[in-house]
Amino acid sequence: MLALLSWQASANESMQNVDVVQLGTYQAHTDHFVWLSDTPAECKATSGNHVLHFQEDQPGGKALLAVLMTALVNKRKIDIQTNGCDIVEVYLK
C-alpha cells in the first residue's frame, strides 16, 4: 500500500523498516504529528520540534493517515520518505 502527498522534492530522505510509535493531532487542525522508532537526519537538523508531520486536508492526506494508522495498530514496519520533517510518502511493509 502506498500513500503519496502532492509535492515531490528532489532531496527526499528515505528510511526503511521503521515502526510508527505514536500519532497525534490537535482537534481544531488537520496537521498530524508522527513519531517513529527513528527520526530522519534532515528532521533532526531543523530548528524547533523534531517531529514528522503531514496535513490531512492536502491531496493524499487521508490515505496517508490510513496507512500510518494501519501500521500503528497492526505493528507493521514502514518505509518512509521525508523532506525535512514533512512526510512525502509511506510504504506499508
Question: What cell does 92 get?
Answer: 506499508
pLDDT at 38: 95
Task: State the amino acid at position 50 in one-letter form.
Answer: H
Total domains in the chain come to: 1
Residue 22 belongs to domain with CATH number: 2.40.50.110
Query: Residue 34: its pLDDT value, please?
Result: 96
Q: What percent of the chain has pLDDT over 90?
A: 74
Average pLDDT value for the chain:
88
- The C-alpha cell at 21 is 510509535
Prediction pTM value? 0.82
pLDDT digits (tens, 9 = 90+) for 58-82: 999 999 999 999 999 999 999 999 9
Whether pLDDT at 6 is above 70: no
Name the grid cell of 40.
530522519
What residues make up the domain containing 30?
Answer: 2-92
| Inter-residue contact 90 to 68 (CB < 8 Å) | yes
